[in-house]
Amino acid sequence: MGTALFTGVSGLTANQRKLDVIANNIANVNTTGYRGSRVLFQDLFSQTISGPRAAVAGFGGANPLQVGLGVRLGTIDVSHSQGALITTGVASDLAIQGQGFFVLSDGASNFYSRDGSFTLNSNGDLIDGATGLRVQGFLADGSGVIDPTGIVTDLTIPLGGVSIVQASTESEFVGNLDSAATAGDTVDRTFRVFDSLGTARDVTVTFTKSATTNEWDWAASTVDPEIATVTGAGTIAFDANGNVTAGGLSSIDLTFVAGIPSTPVDPFSFAVDFSAVTNQSGGGSDVTFFSQNGYPRGVLESFNIGQGGVINGVFTNGLTQTLGQVATASFANNGGLSREGSNLFRDSPSSGVPQVGIPGTGGRGQVSGGVLEGSNVDLGREFSELIITQRAFQANARTITTADTLLQETVNLVR
């Protein structure tokens, strides 16, 4: 009876622990990126009353007689199954589809989390808003190229603090040059391009009807006081249908006056394309400047995080450029990670060394922006486990009550 009492107590203790885990799961049913846990029991060492005996001659042998001494907590496993993905529309919110963890740092140690509710601090650092830990990833170079084998570092998105320009390298004209024009007739077209500092430069192309049939000459000029020389001239030849046959592609070079306040790349050269210009009669000359690929200086005004955790900066001049990419980590044994609170895990000897890299490689899942991962707790399952645990606790309490009654009866024998 004394054994039964202690066995019942072990059952109460074990089921109380299981109830604690279930309560924690239910409490975190709405916690972003939370990973639910489960409890597994193991029986305690059994007291052997008599050992097993082998069959001898006519004796058939006997099985061991053992009495169990109760139950104990076996393991508390963390489930790393996928949680539901919830669209938020917040650019800095991230979620992982598949295996892996975000990498967060306090400057000395790394932490790992499935909670991607990130934000920007006053310095433009991408951080976990609840803990202040900095999100780790790969920064792009000045051309927007990411080295996936590079150093993993703090991700910075300096809104309003970084600018970008793009010098013009290509330009294009479209429209018609009147084939009925008289030799010497001219058509002027002024257009704007941008140098390496993003400064606008206005250039004029003058088309002059040649004395040769189906040909126009052109020459570039400018009234910009900071331009010393303009090099660019040629002849455009057309066939009988008015389509360009020669001189459709050329270039214009600008050199700058010495001593100007800021000198861009000198000379400033860009291609000019007349291939889409025609030489037909009727309607006169309507040739016009169509496009160029340069942009003035633009300041970073917003960002978005696309597939794979790539951070794209959007600038006020319309340009977009890659700023960096979020890193993720995978482990040989996710179950070996240690909970640290605040949705954080730490690696341990049981988890293995973190394998950090870009999402979608090395078994790591993909990262999406504007999305958060919900808790993976299944309320239906937790309530079922809650009922089973309650009944188990009650049954063990009855064991203790029954053993107590028998002890009381034994005491009463001597009265």
Q: How far is CA 230 from the centre of its chain?
A: 47
Confidence (pLDDT) at 93: 95
Q: Which residues lie below 8 Å from residue 77, measured CB to CB, with a gap of 6+? A: 37, 38, 40, 335
pLDDT tens, residue by residue, 331-354: 999 999 999 999 999 999 999 999
| Opening angle at CA 140, ends 134 and 142, nearest 5 | 130
Q: How far apart, in Å, do the first and last CA atoms of the chain sit?
A: 20
| Opening angle at CA 76, ends 334 and 331, nearest 5 | 5
Backbone angles phi, psi at 407, to 5 degrees: -60, -40
pTM > 0.85: no
Confidence (pLDDT) at 415: 64
Tokens 């889409």, located at residue: 276
Confidence (pLDDT) at 307: 85
Confidence (pLDDT) at 1: 60
Instruction: Assess contact for 128 and 113: CB atoms under 8 A.
Output: yes
Tokens 């008599």, located at residue: 50
Confidence (pLDDT) at 189: 95
The pLDDT confidence band at residue 377, using thresholds 50, 70 and 90, is: very high
CA-based nearest residue to 315, from 198, 199, 202: 198
Confidence (pLDDT) at 49: 86
65 has which bridge partners?
Answer: 50
CA-based nearest residue to 190, from 204, 207, 201, 211: 204
Backbone angles phi, psi at 281, to 5 degrees: -95, 160
The pLDDT confidence band at residue 283, using thresholds 50, 70 and 90, is: confident
Identify whether 354 is preceded by a cis peptide bond (ω within 30 of 0).
no
Tokens matching residue 151: 């150093």
Q: How far is CA 207 from the centre of its chain?
A: 51
**Between 66 and 265, the higher pLDDT residue:** 265
188 has which bridge partners?
Answer: 206
Conformation bin of residue 312: beta by default, left when phi > 0, alpha when psi is -120 to 50? beta
d(CA 177, CA 287): 6
111 has which bridge partners?
Answer: 104
Taking residues 142-158, report their average pLDDT: 91
The pLDDT confidence band at residue 288, using thresholds 50, 70 and 90, is: very high
Confidence (pLDDT) at 312: 94
pLDDT exceeds 90 at position 281: no
pLDDT tens, residue by residue, 96-122: 999 999 999 999 999 999 999 999 998
Which domains are delineated in the chain? Answer: 2-50+64-80+376-412 (no CATH), 86-123+300-373 (no CATH), 168-293 (2.60.98.20)
d(CA 292, CA 295): 9
d(CA 397, CA 388): 14
Confidence (pLDDT) at 57: 80
pLDDT exceeds 90 at position 5: no
pLDDT exceeds 80 at position 58: no
Backbone angles phi, psi at 22, to 5 degrees: -65, -45
